[in-house]
Amino acid sequence: MGRGKIEIKRIDNATSRQVTFSKRRSGLFKKAKELAILCDAEVGLIVFSSTGRQYDFASTR
């Protein structure tokens, strides 16, 4: 999705990998929150970047 199609494999370029991580991470968290709300589900999500930074979310229901 986007200007071109991409293969699902590790992005070699460190800069693009970081940019993609930032964008896709926010998309993933948004969808996790939406699933919890729309479907009354409990969702827990934890992500560690390759540099070790942690991001998490937990719905409370």
Partner DNA sequence: TAGACTATGTATAACTA
Partner DNA sequence: TTAGTTATACATAGTCT
Our finding on whether 40 is near a second copy (CB under 8 A) is yes
Our finding on whether 37 is near DNA (CB under 7 A) is no
Our finding on whether 1 is near a second copy (CB under 8 A) is no
Contacts of 54 (CB under 8 A, 6+ apart): 46, 47, 48
- Sign, CA dihedral 16-21-27-28, equals positive
The CB-of-13 to DNA minimum distance in angstroms stands at 8
Give the H or E element holding residue 11.
Answer: none
- Residue numbers at the binding site for a second copy (CB under 8 A): 6, 8-11, 17-18, 20-21, 24-25, 27-28, 31-32, 34-35, 37-50
